[in-house]
Chains A and B, each alone.
Chain A
Amino acid sequence: MIYLDHNATTPVDADVREAMIDCLSDQFGNPSSLHGLGRKARKILEDSREKISQTIGASEDELFFTSGGTESINLALRGSLQKIDPGLLKLGKPHIITTAVEHKAVLETLEELKKEGRLEVTLVGVDSKGRVKLEDFQKALRPTTFLISMMWVNNEIGNIYPIEAIGHWVRSQKILFHVDAVQALGKLEINLSKIPVDLMSLSAHKIYGPKGVGALYILSGVKVASCHTGGAQEMEKRGGTENLPGIVGFAQAVEKIDLKNDNSRIKILRQKLESGLAQIPQSHVQGDEGSRVANTLSMTFEGVESEMGIIALDREGIAVSSGSACASGAVEPSHVLLAMGVNRGEAKGVIRFSLGKSTTESEIETVLKSFLK
């Protein structure tokens, strides 16, 4: 099996697996318990928190574990809405600005809050390469705007968004800035001591960690209400006994990030794949070649239906993907490509290749052969 779907999920790293098995085998204590086993578990929990927060330039008091990226995003958006400044509420319905190319976790959560009548939402558009402009955010700003949410790296096309520049402006407006960094962690350097961000969502399984664990970074002083009521875990931000084996795996996965080596190697492989596939008539690379992560290649092939392409490749043992899937798992036209102005027909022919640490040159050659035959 040639696995080129690392933006969907990644294989669990061997060291991560080992750390998790150790935890599962020996450390069954509840971190909230006062006895020895509990204290041991609590130490493992806080050590993990420390490792991850140090890697992203945060303090350990600013990192809160969740069940994954989607929950982190929900906590960031719903939790900050819950704690909104009452003075702002007097001006009218709270307003959030985000982009049209966000992950469904953001778009659907905001849509739901909008339907509930709790906020208003402006979606900032993108150009044909999927780029955003700071001035579009500036134009969308209202007196009632309390938060701007945007992704750092797009999961479908791999664009890297100018979080730092936008962050500085957002900070100057005294509004909150939530960054969905689920696809950025492990692909880009994240240093929150330099970048003005208030809330940041992270996930473990995109970085060779386990599924079912993630974290929300909350800048010290930013108010977020719990969405998971129950026990007092995670400083009352997220009730429920901590998923300690998952958290240990997450920390181990973060520790194993090796940006320099991985990115330069993966980039060479992706370029080989990209230039090979570009020979196919009527194929187009989607996204911003000037600012794209190393591992992601989104291509449209005119006259091809991506779901059939994906199935045919699957039958040859090659795993790739396209846009998002609905409840039934059927492929839907990508909202990202549609936002970029790609026509519906072409958007249906998109295939996303996302490479990873284990991708080899011979795998890329096999994929190219399969496409070019």
Chain B
Amino acid sequence: MPVMSKNLAVVAMSGGVDSSVAALLLKEQGLEVIGISMKTHETPHMDSREGGTCCTAYDINDARRVCQQLDIPFYPINFTEEFSEKVIDYFGKEYSQGRTPNPCVECNSQLKFAALLKKARELGAYYLATGHYAVKTRDTLGKYHLMKARDREKDQSYFLYKLGQEQLEHVLFPIGKYTKEEVREFARSADIKTADKAESQEICFVPDNDYASFIENELPVYKGTPGNFVSESGDVLGQHRGVHAYTVGQRRGLGVAFGERAYVKLINVEKNEIVLSDKDGLVSKGLVAQKVSWVHREFVTSGQMVEAKIRYRHKGAKAFVHINPDDSVRLDFVEPESSVSPGQAVVFYRNDELLGGGTIEKPIVE
């Protein structure tokens, strides 16, 4: 294994503008840069010219082209087996258990900042850089902090909550202190191919974000069987197409019979029932999260107030976080919150700083 060099960085290139500019900025700083694309899945029918935009052959070609333009070496690396096992399979399994998965968190923690980081170090690179909108800082004691990006609209720190000190030491987020428009401007002035490329879609391997059809077609083993929609008091309201097709808080696609006011409150896998309620029925006082990890455990004290995000686009809610001796926490919201979805990530912030996060196990209603 070559000696690790702080002057050498691997950039994880998705074929989008953000990681392109991450590579550009590091190169301009004088680092030696290697571009690597993770080939994660096969979706031959889905390329960037037809809507989807992540990690298809076309995107990997874009990443390669950008590296050519930047005059840095580029390698695609095959991660299809790991991705299939650790991200896609997990994704289907969670839905089959009535939970709402967060594949980006899993991909980041199990592939990007684990397997790829390891490979970067094998190549002698001290750093792995990505095009995430987030900011890493280092305090006077040498501890690393993970902060929200300057561009609040684009902030992606939520997806990075599993990063600990060990990984942060070796990770760079070169674009975190710029706005998306500034990033595009950098790309335009350097004449980079992806400067005006469309944003990537929400889940890279699911065409048109239709997760229910994706599970039915690609992961039939996780496809549920039709069952009943029931009211909170247990009355049968209609038929659902299988628990894999629903998410807590969902309103659309339940069937016209319930009108606009019905939401998925609870998915009961044992009974194969989906409980519907009106919006008030979705409210929780708190939640229990498991598999909690902290950027640094000492940055947080049990019982302190945090701002909790219970899904990526959540505006954040004030809450008290109670840390249990195992790796679980109880979170008490200051004001009740709607649509706490088991399986989703809950992430804790203190002002702009990400403290940690975990997987929502269940809402606390009473």
B→A interface (CB under 8 Å):
2, 37, 39, 42, 56-57, 60-61, 64, 73, 75-78, 80, 119, 122-124
Cβ–Cβ contact A330 & B123, under 8 A: no
A residues near B76, Cβ cutoff 8 Å: 328-330
Cβ–Cβ contact B122 & A330, under 8 A: no
B-facing residues in A119-145 (Cβ within 8 Å) = none
A→B interface (CB under 8 Å):
307-308, 311-312, 314-315, 326-332
Known: A307-B78, A330-B39, A332-B78. A315 touches B123 (CB 8 A): yes
Q: Considering the chains assembled together, what is the distance between the CA atoms of A307 and B60 in angstroms? A: 16
B residues near A315, Cβ cutoff 8 Å: 2, 73, 123-124
Known: A307-B78, A314-B73. A330 touches B60 (CB 8 A): yes
Known: A307-B77, A311-B75, A312-B2. A328 touches B60 (CB 8 A): yes
B residues near A307, Cβ cutoff 8 Å: 75, 77-78
Known: A308-B122, A311-B123, A312-B122. A326 touches B57 (CB 8 A): yes
Query: Which 10 residue pairs spanning A and B have beta carbons closest together?
Result: A328-B60, A327-B57, A330-B39, A330-B78, A330-B76, A328-B57, A329-B76, A328-B76, A328-B39, A311-B75
Nearest CB in chain B to that of A331: its residue: B78
Most buried by B among A312, A328, A331, A332: A328
A residues near B39, Cβ cutoff 8 Å: 326, 328, 330
Cβ–Cβ contact B61 & A328, under 8 A: yes
CB-contact partner of B60 in A312, A314, A329, A331, under 8 A: A329
Q: Considering the chains assembled together, what is the distance between the CA atoms of A331 and B80 in angstroms? A: 10
Q: Considering the chains assembled together, what is the distance between the CA atoms of A329 and B78 in angstroms? A: 9
B residues near A331, Cβ cutoff 8 Å: 77-78
CB within 8 Å: A-B pair count: 43
Nearest CB in chain A to that of B55: its residue: A328
22 A-B pairs in the complex with CB atoms less than 8 angstroms apart: A307-B75, A307-B77, A307-B78, A308-B77, A308-B122, A308-B123, A311-B75, A312-B122, A314-B75, A315-B2, A315-B123, A315-B124, A326-B42, A326-B57, A328-B56, A328-B57, A329-B60, A329-B64, A329-B76, A330-B78, A331-B77, A332-B78
Q: Considering the chains assembled together, what is the distance between the CA atoms of A312 and B123 in angstroms? A: 6
Q: Considering the chains assembled together, what is the distance between the CA atoms of A329 and B35 in angstroms? A: 14
A residues near B42, Cβ cutoff 8 Å: 326
Q: How far is the CB of B112 from chain A (nearest CB, A)?
A: 16
B residues near A308, Cβ cutoff 8 Å: 77, 119, 122-123
Q: How far is the CB of B223 from chain A (nearest CB, A)?
A: 26
Q: How far is the CB of A328 from chain B (nearest CB, A)?
A: 4
B residues near A328, Cβ cutoff 8 Å: 37, 39, 56-57, 60-61, 76
Q: Considering the chains assembled together, what is the distance between the CA atoms of A246 and B56 in angstroms? A: 34
Q: How far is the CB of A177 from chain B (nearest CB, A)?
A: 33
Q: How far is the CB of B123 from chain A (nearest CB, A)?
A: 6
Q: Considering the chains assembled together, what is the distance between the CA atoms of A75 and B107 in angstroms? A: 44
A residues near B122, Cβ cutoff 8 Å: 308, 312
B residues near A311, Cβ cutoff 8 Å: 75, 123
Q: Considering the chains assembled together, what is the distance between the CA atoms of A328 and B91 in angstroms? A: 24
Please name 10 further chain A to chain B contacts, defined as beta carbons within 8 Å, in addition to the given A307-B77, A330-B80, sorted by A numbering: A307-B78, A308-B119, A312-B122, A315-B2, A315-B73, A328-B56, A328-B57, A328-B61, A330-B60, A332-B78
Nearest CB in chain B to that of A328: its residue: B60
B residues near A329, Cβ cutoff 8 Å: 60, 64, 76
Q: How far is the CB of A5 from chain B (nearest CB, A)?
A: 15
Q: Considering the chains assembled together, what is the distance between the CA atoms of A315 and B39 in angstroms? A: 21
Q: Considering the chains assembled together, what is the distance between the CA atoms of A307 and B82 in angstroms? A: 15
Q: Considering the chains assembled together, what is the distance between the CA atoms of A314 and B36 in angstroms? A: 14
Most buried by A among B57, B78, B124: B78
Q: How far is the CB of B111 from chain A (nearest CB, A)?
A: 14
Q: How far is the CB of B82 from chain A (nearest CB, A)?
A: 11
Q: How far is the CB of A363 from chain B (nearest CB, A)?
A: 20
Q: Considering the chains assembled together, what is the distance between the CA atoms of A70 and B80 in angstroms? A: 27
Nearest CB in chain B to that of A325: its residue: B76
Nearest CB in chain B to that of A307: its residue: B77
Known: A308-B123, A312-B123, A315-B123. A330 touches B77 (CB 8 A): yes
Nearest CB in chain A to that of B59: its residue: A328
